[in-house]
Amino acid sequence: MGVIGRFFNLKDIFDRLNKEYFEGAISTKITWGRNVRNGRRYIRFGSYTEKDNIIRIHPSLDRQDIPLYFIESIVYHEILHKIVGAKILNGRRRVHTSEFKKLERRFKDHERAREWEKKKVWSIPL
**Residue 113 lies inside a defined structural domain of this protein:** yes
Higher pLDDT, 43 or 55: 55
**Residue 57 lies inside a defined structural domain of this protein:** yes
**Residue 115 lies inside a defined structural domain of this protein:** yes
Name the phi and psi angles at 6, rounded to 5.
-70, -35
d(CA 61, CA 118): 15
**Residue 3 lies inside a defined structural domain of this protein:** no
pTM: 0.89
The number of domains in the chain is 1
d(CA 25, CA 109): 21
CB atoms within 10 A of CB 118: 9
What domain range is 76 assigned to?
Answer: 10-123
**Residue 110 lies inside a defined structural domain of this protein:** yes
* pLDDT, averaged across the chain: 90
CATH number at 38 reads 3.30.2010.10
CA distances from 80 to 25, 40, 125 (A): 12, 25, 27
Q: Which residues pair with 48 in a beta bridge?
A: 55
pLDDT for 55-110, tens place per residue? 999 999 999 999 999 999 999 999 999 999 888 888 988 889 889 999 999 999 99
